[in-house]
Amino acid sequence: MFKKVLIANRGEIALRIIRACKELGIRTVAIYCEPDATARYVKKADEAYLVTPGPLRGYLNIYGIVELAKNVGADAIHPGYGFLAENPQFAEACAQAGITFIGPNPQAIRKMGLKDEARKIAQKLGIPLLPGTPPLQSIDEALSAAREIGYPVMVKAVAGGGGRGLRICYDEESLKRQIPIAMSEAKKAFGDERVFIEKYLERPHHIEIQIVADKYGKIIHLGERDCSIQRRHQKLIEIAPSLLLTEKVRCQMGEAAKRLAYEVGYDNVGTVEFLVDENLNYYFLEMNTRIQVEHTITEEITGIDLVQNMIKIACGEPLEIKQYEVTLNGYAIQCRINAEDPLNDFLPSTGTVTAYYSPGGFGIRIDGHVTEGYNVSPYYDSLLAKLVARGRTWEETVRRMHRALSEYIIRGVKTTIPLYIKIMEDEDFFKGNFSTRYIEEKLPSLLYIEEKDPFDMAVILSAAIIAHSRV
C-alpha cells in the first residue's frame, strides 16, 4: 500500500480523498493556491504546500506538481476530477518520475478522451451510436452532414466534456452561427478547437454506467446513475438507480460498458455515458476516465467505496468484488449545492458564507468543504457541497431529500437549495416524468420560490405576540 499520496485537487473532492486515505492508513499531502490557504481540506491533510502563482495555475502545473510530489516523498498522486484528472500527459509525467497515478493508464485516457476515437471503438464493438460525423473540416461539410442526419443536431467538441463546446442546432442558420462559438469555447477549454456533429435526441435520459477495473483484466459494473436533471448540460441532481431502466436493459448497458473498457485496456474506475430514449433504446455518448462528482450515490446503493478501490487498484491489488456480488439496494439522490442564483439565470454568487447549518439524520450524507466564514471565490467551480439522501423506496428517498434541503442553511451567498426544494415537491419529478429537458421546460414554474419579506415577517411576529398576550 502507498505510504503517502499527494492530492492534485482542491475543495470537497480533495477532502473526500483525504478521508479515504486516512481509513487506509495513508498519509496525505494537499496543495493549495492562495485563495484556498484556509480551506478545510488544507487543514485536514497531514501536509500542505502552497503552489503559486495566482489562484489557478498551480493546480494545472503538471511538472510543478510532480516535482513537489518527489520532493515530499509521495509515492502516488490522486488527481480527483477536473483540472488534470483526464490529462494523459499528467499520467505519463507521473510514470516517468516513478510516481503512481491513481487512475487509468495514459493510453486508455488518451483513447477515450477524444470523442471521435471513442465513437470508433464503440462502433467496432457494435455498441449503438447516434448518427454523427468525424471532426469537421468546414461549415459546408457540417451543413451537408446535418441535412443527411436530420435536425436537430449537436455540435460537440472532440476533446470536450462537462458541456463545454456543445451547442444544439435546430436549423441551418443556427448551425452556421453555433459552430464558430463551439470551436472557440473548445479551444479555450481544451486547447483543441475541433468539433463534430451528432444527432440530438429531444427528450432522452442521460444515464451513466459506473465501471471498476483492475490491472489484471477483471472488470465489473456497479449499475447506473440517471443524470437527466441538468441545465446547459451541467448536472444538478443525480439519481441511482434509474427509474427508467429494466433489469434487462441495465445488464445490456453494463455489459456494453465493460466491453468498451476491456477493449482499451482500462484499469481503475470510470464512467460510460449513454443517452436513453423513451423506448429504452440506448446510445453511447462518451467515457469519463476519472472519478465522477456523483460517485456518492453509487457508493450509497452498493456499499462499495469507489475512492478506496481507486487507490487499491493503483497499488496493484486485484479487484475482490465479483459481478454477481454487486447488488443495488434502495435509491439515492444527490443534489449539487451550488453557489448560484436560479432566479438570475444561475449566475454564480460570490462572497462570504455568514451562516452555515448542515442537515443530518438517518440516510443523509454531505460531501462538502464549506463552513461559516468560507469565502466563495470567483476563481473556482460554484459547487459548495453534495447533499445525498438514501431510502428504501423512491418515495421515501424524495421525502428524505426534501426534509434535508429544508433544514439546510447557507447565508451570505445565493444557492440552488430553494430550487431543489421545489423540484422535490414537483409531481412530475416524484413520478419520474423527466428528461434532460426537465429544467428547461419546468423552470418558469419551479422559479416561483417564496422569499419571506422581512416587513411581512415582522407583522406576523407582532400579531403572534399580541395574540399570545391576550390568552
Q: Which percentage of the chain shows pLDDT scores above 90?
A: 86
Q: Is 391 helix (H, G, I), strand (E, B) or coil?
A: strand
Average confidence (pLDDT) over 351-370: 97
Asked if 31 and 68 touch (Cβ cutoff 8 Å), the reply is: yes
Average confidence (pLDDT) over 232-261: 97
* Cβ atoms < 10 Å from Cβ of 464: 10
Q: Report residue 253 CA to chain centroid gap.
A: 20
Q: 10 CB contacts (<8 Å, ≥6 apart)? A: 31, 32, 33, 36, 39, 41, 59, 380
Query: Is residue 328's pLDDT more than 60?
Result: yes
> Which amino acid does the sequence have at 464?
A
Give yes or no for a cis peptide into 241 (omega within 30° of 0). Answer: yes
290 assigned to active site: yes
pLDDT score, position 96: 97
pLDDT score, position 450: 54
How far apart are alpha carbons 174 and 177 in whole angstroms? 5
Q: pLDDT by residue (tens digit) across 101-139? A: 999 999 999 999 888 899 999 999 999 999 999 999 899
* Bridge partners, 240 (sequence order): 332
Query: Mean pLDDT lowest for which of 184-198, 237-251, 268-282?
Result: 184-198
Identify the residue with better confidence: 370 or 189. 370
Q: Which percentage of the chain shows pLDDT scores above 70?
A: 95
Set 16, 167, 225, 290: catalytic member = 290
Instruction: Name the strand (E) or helix (H) holding 30.
Output: strand 27-32
Query: Is residue 462's pLDDT more than 80?
Result: no
Q: pLDDT by residue (tens digit) across 60-73? A: 999 999 999 999 99
Q: pLDDT tier at 271 (50, 70, 90 boundaries)?
A: very high
Q: pLDDT by residue (tens digit) across 194-212? A: 999 999 998 999 999 999 9
pLDDT score, position 166: 87
Please name the residue that has the C-alpha cell 411576529: 461
Q: pLDDT by residue (tens digit) across 281-316? A: 999 999 999 999 999 999 999 999 999 999 999 999
* Cβ atoms < 10 Å from Cβ of 40: 18
Query: Is residue 365's pLDDT more than 70?
Result: yes
- The average confidence (pLDDT) of the chain is 93
How far apart are alpha carbons 28 and 16 in whole angstroms? 12
Q: pLDDT tier at 162 (50, 70, 90 boundaries)?
A: low
Instruction: Name the strand (E) or helix (H) holding 334.
Output: strand 331-338
How far apart are alpha carbons 175 and 188 in whole angstroms? 20
Asked if 288 and 273 touch (Cβ cutoff 8 Å), the reply is: yes
Query: Is residue 56's pLDDT more than 60?
Result: yes
* Cβ atoms < 10 Å from Cβ of 141: 14
Asked if 380 and 11 touch (Cβ cutoff 8 Å), the reply is: yes
Q: 110 CB contacts (<8 Å, ≥6 apart)? A: 88
* Cβ atoms < 10 Å from Cβ of 46: 14
pLDDT score, position 233: 86
pLDDT score, position 449: 55
- Please give the grid coordinates belonging to residue 308: 478506496
- Taking CA atoms, 443 is separated from 296, 406, 425, 426, 437, in Å, by 26, 20, 13, 11, 10
Query: Is residue 465's pLDDT more than 50?
Result: no
Q: Which long-range contacts (CB under 8 A, 24 or more apart) does 246-252 make?
A: 246/280, 249/276, 249/280, 249/282, 250/223, 250/224, 252/282
pLDDT score, position 173: 94
Query: Is residue 463's pLDDT more than 50?
Result: no
pLDDT score, position 163: 72
Average confidence (pLDDT) over 185-196: 88
Asked if 109 and 269 touch (Cβ cutoff 8 Å), the reply is: no
Q: What is the DSSP string of 231-282?
A: ETTEEEEEEES-SS--HHHHHHHHHHHHHHHHHTT--EEEEEEEEE-TT--E
Q: pLDDT by residue (tens digit) across 434-460? A: 999 999 999 999 987 555 444 444 443
Q: pLDDT by residue (tens digit) across 85-100? A: 999 999 999 999 999 9
Q: pLDDT tier at 189 (50, 70, 90 boundaries)?
A: confident
Asked if 365 and 337 touch (Cβ cutoff 8 Å), the reply is: no
Q: 18 CB contacts (<8 Å, ≥6 apart)? A: 7, 28, 30, 41, 44, 45
Cα torsion angle, 400, 403, 404, 405, sign: positive
